[in-house]
Chains A and B, each alone.
Chain A
Amino acid sequence: EAGVAQSPRYKIIEKRQSVAFWCNPISGHATLYWYQQILGQGPKLLIQFQNNGVVDDSQLPKDRFSAERLKGVDSTLKIQPAKLEDSAVYLCASSFGGATNEKLFFGSGTQLSVL
């Protein structure tokens, strides 16, 4: 079974630039999550999709972050403009149902460095 695919693996940008991350979840998984993991901390949920609808984006900094999930499959997360404090690993996860009753499958993440 193919896992959650993310790209790019690494990204280095300067502050105020824009960046986008891509995620392809496991086939058939209706729920998709984006997490931000700052060095030394646990993952923090940014946004949760159920199919192509947003379920929870209460922790997404909407002035600079945006995300979409076209056709309920792939998803992109964008930061515009980036700040130094956005340096982190951005993790995508998917599950068949919700996180309470289903195992989350995580991708390897995109490591973002903002200089």
Chain B
Amino acid sequence: NAGVTQTPKFQVLKTGQSMTLQCAQDMNHEYMSWYRQDPGMGLRLIHYSVGAGITDQGEVPNGYNVSRSTTEDFPLRLLSAAPSQTSVYFCASSYLPRGVEQYFGPGTRLTVT
């Protein structure tokens, strides 16, 4: 099992550009989520999904879009990148939405200039 995979590992964008961060898992997990990590702020939930076709907002959803067309994939779209979106992004999955271990991907380091 590859677990949770994320691409790309690094990305530099100019303000106003859009892009999609990819996330995939091969553990047949129903629950997937996106977090951003900023120094001194821990991991903050952006969006999550409890299954294919179902998504919902987390704590900091503005400027991001998600979709879940399959169980395996959960891409995160930045609609118009801003310097405030410079961060490390982690995708995570688990077989239940609560009370179980979250498996994290290796992360994407995004810089917006």
Do A and B share a complex?
A: no
Q: Which residues of A contact B (CB under 8 A)?
A: none
